[in-house]
Amino acid sequence: MTPSPTAGPRVGLFATCLMNLFRPNVGFSAVKLLEDAGCIVEVPASQTCCGQPGYNSGDYDAARALARQVIEAFEHFDYVVGPSGSCMATIRHDYPAMFAGDPQWLPRAEALSKKSFELLSFLADVRGAAATVDARYAGTATYHDSCSGLRGLGIKGQPRALLDEVDGLRLKEMEDSEVCCGFGGTFCVKYPEISEKMVDDKVRNILATGADTLLGGDLGCLMNIAGRLKRINAPVKVFHAAEVLAGFADGPGLADAPKESR
């Protein structure tokens, strides 16, 4: 099927395990933002996981098995976009490394890598979508820079540029926004005391800003921080930036009770 010259790019949405299980609202936000930016969005039903848990645990075989699955599910799209710096960095950087020396899979991994993007940077850098943001959010937010997005994919200014277009939203930077929150995948349950100390440092910096909202681009980090904020009864709402940008942040934030709404 040849796409018509006026149709936008076909984007395969990479759902991510955490979003799929814990926060579908982020997925729907992503679809809306991508469609508003002129993309045709599909969600391959067969997708499961990017393979990062295996890769980071040193089980490269398992990681490759999952990577092959992802490559097959997504390689026919114009772009693969996911609401997670962590997962998309795995696809962009780790997939080619995983298949080094493999004449069959390396070219396919490299091809997929080139068209794989984290959501917010895709909207800002590839689609120039700041102009299409049409949302309102009354509040002061601070932003946590997830490590893989920041250092793996260079995501820093893009979320802020997009959030700048949200009416009513005031952004206040926290100290050490770029320092790891202590999630780190299985790290947070393997070394819980260290993780707790790291998330406490992050929470302290968030509270010091006086912001009523925390935003970020990765659910792992956001769930980690939200979980700690709730445990200490801190009155800070946590959303994925995509939810605010799509105007879908009028319901409960992460770990908020269902009846709470703005």
- The residues in 175-234 that bind other proteins, with binding defined as CB under 8 A, are 178-180, 182-185, 187-199, 201, 223-224, 226-228, 230-231
Question: In whole angstroms, how close is the CB of 158 to other proteins at the nearest point?
Answer: 18
Rounded CA-CA distance 129/72 in Å is 28
Interaction with other proteins in 122-141: which residues (CB under 8 A)?
Answer: none
Nearer to other proteins, 62 or 130 (CB): 62
Question: Which residue's CB is nearer to other proteins, number 170 or number 247?
Answer: 247
Task: Among 9, 96, 152, 217, indicate the residue that binds other proteins (CB under 8 A).
Answer: 152
**Binding-site member from 110, 260, 261, 262 for other proteins (CB under 8 A):** 260
Q: Do the beta carbons of residue 182 and residue 197 sit within 8 Å?
A: yes
Among 5, 101, 103, 258, binds other proteins (CB under 8 A): 258
Question: Coil, helix or strand for 173?
Answer: coil
In the complex, least distance from residue 109 CB atom to other proteins, rounded to whole angstroms? 17
Whether residue 1 contacts residue 32, with contact meaning beta carbons closer than 8 Å, is answered with no
91 three-state secondary structure:
helix
Cβ burial, residue 45 (10 Å; 0-12/13-18/19+) = exposed
Distance CA 140, CA 214 (A): 9
Question: What residues from 44 to 83 belong to the interface with other proteins (CB under 8 A)?
Answer: 45-49, 51, 53-62, 65-66, 69
Per the CB < 8 A criterion, the answer to whether 248 and 176 are in contact is no
Q: Count of residues binding other proteins (CB under 8 A)? A: 72
Residues 23-42 that bind other proteins (CB under 8 A): 23-28, 42
CB of 83 to other proteins, least distance (A): 10
Shortest gap between Cβ of 120 and other proteins (angstroms)? 18
* CA-to-CA dists, residue 8 to 37, 40, 48, 242, angstroms: 9, 6, 26, 20
